[in-house]
Amino acid sequence: MTAPAMKQANSAAKTKQRVSNEQRRQVLDLRRRHSLREVAEITALPLGTVKTLVSRSGAFRDNEQHHALFTLPPISASTETLPSVPELPPQEVVTGDKEVDAVLWLRSIISTGQVALIERAMEGTKKIRTPLDVLEKRYRDYLVATNPGHPFAAMSSFGFADLDALATRAIERHRLRLEGDARFGDALLADTEAESFCIAALRGLEPTGHLGDFDKGQVAARFNAQPELLPHTLTDCLYELGYWDQLYRLRHAVDRDARGDSAGLVRVRPAGADPAPRQGRGAGGVPLPGRQPARRHGRVRGNSLQPDRVISPINYPRATAHNQRQRRQRYT
């Protein structure tokens, strides 16, 4: 063996000998907040040694078990036979103003999300001679006059004339509804495997915050007890956030479809005309503007890459998943 080769072997052996278990833990802990070069400088270890320790630990590779848990079911072909010609919603006399009622009917057609019906509705708007923004004002005046003092009466007419935006939302909601059915069938609102995991992990915790939040330390401790399902990388964190976001979107599309469109079509009944709707909802149980369920997900922050802790991007959706069942019951 040549002198340079012997010197290199001896150096490697010495480096290997002076890396204790405590140093290994320190390297992995520092790596969660610092770059490889910074870790090497802090620990006074060679950069190559730091890279080797981090790579062999496996703590900074994507967690496939975590990905499997937070993956939506695959899309399957639907066996449901849809009607070849969608049925038109019935025409109703709402305000007594024929043109305003005509627009309300066209909006109900557009809200179905059926492209064929939407095209017919958009053609029908061309037959209305009065500008839509003028009809929106007439509709707003009707709501205010028939619901004196109601704080949301005028708000429910906002966007009344913007049929293009309504069509865009309706088509997307219809697409999400079909996707939800293709992925979950009749089990879309049932607890998923990920939600069951979160419910089990947080069972017994009591809210401590002013907004009914859980103590972050207690939440982290519960999830840390199952390290095999924790995110290892920023990619894992983003993947799980995407899961919660898409699950919400699929469920909310079905929920809004079941309750009707709340963007500009809320019809507030005059006092005494019908039994009072539930608090925060318009006629027929349709939520009034500003009372839509909040999206339950966190934000990726600068210190989010900490595989040994359940922190910012994961805490909030996981900590709220345990009461999904109660929340869905309130909104259905």
User: 132-140: long-range contacts (C-beta < 8 A, 24 or more apart)?
Assistant: 132/103, 132/160, 132/161, 132/163, 133/161, 135/99, 135/100, 135/103, 135/160, 135/161, 136/160, 136/161, 138/95, 138/97, 138/99, 138/100, 139/95, 139/97, 139/100, 139/103, 139/104
Report the amino acid identity of residue 280.
Answer: G
User: What is the rounded radius of gyration, in angstroms, for the C-alpha atoms of the chain?
Assistant: 28
For the cut 60, the answer to whether the pLDDT of residue 151 exceeds it is yes
Report the amino acid identity of residue 53.
Answer: L
Each domain of the chain, given as residue ranges in start order, spans: 16-57, 64-78+187-331, 98-177
Residue owning tokens 């025409």 = 91
**How remote is the C-alpha of 37 from its chain's centroid?**
37
Distance CA 244, CA 246 (A): 6
Query: In terms of pTM, does the model score above 0.85?
Result: no
| Residue 31, pLDDT score | 83
261-266-272 Cα angle (round to 5): 140
Identify which has the larger pLDDT, 57 or 70. 70
Quick one: angle between helices 132-146 and 98-110, nearest 10?
100
Q: Which tokens go with 296?
A: 């339950």
Kindly report the three-state secondary structure assignment for every residue of 232-245. CCHHHHHHHHHHHH
**H or E, element range at 175:** helix 163-184
| Residue 170, pLDDT score | 94
Under the banding of pLDDT at 50, 70 and 90, the label for residue 57 is: confident
For the cut 60, the answer to whether the pLDDT of residue 212 exceeds it is yes
Distance CA 219, CA 319 (A): 7
Under the banding of pLDDT at 50, 70 and 90, the label for residue 55 is: confident
Lowest average pLDDT, out of 138-152, 211-225, 264-278, goes to: 264-278
Distance CA 9, CA 4 (A): 9
Beta strands in the chain (DSSP E): none
Distance CA 195, CA 319 (A): 10
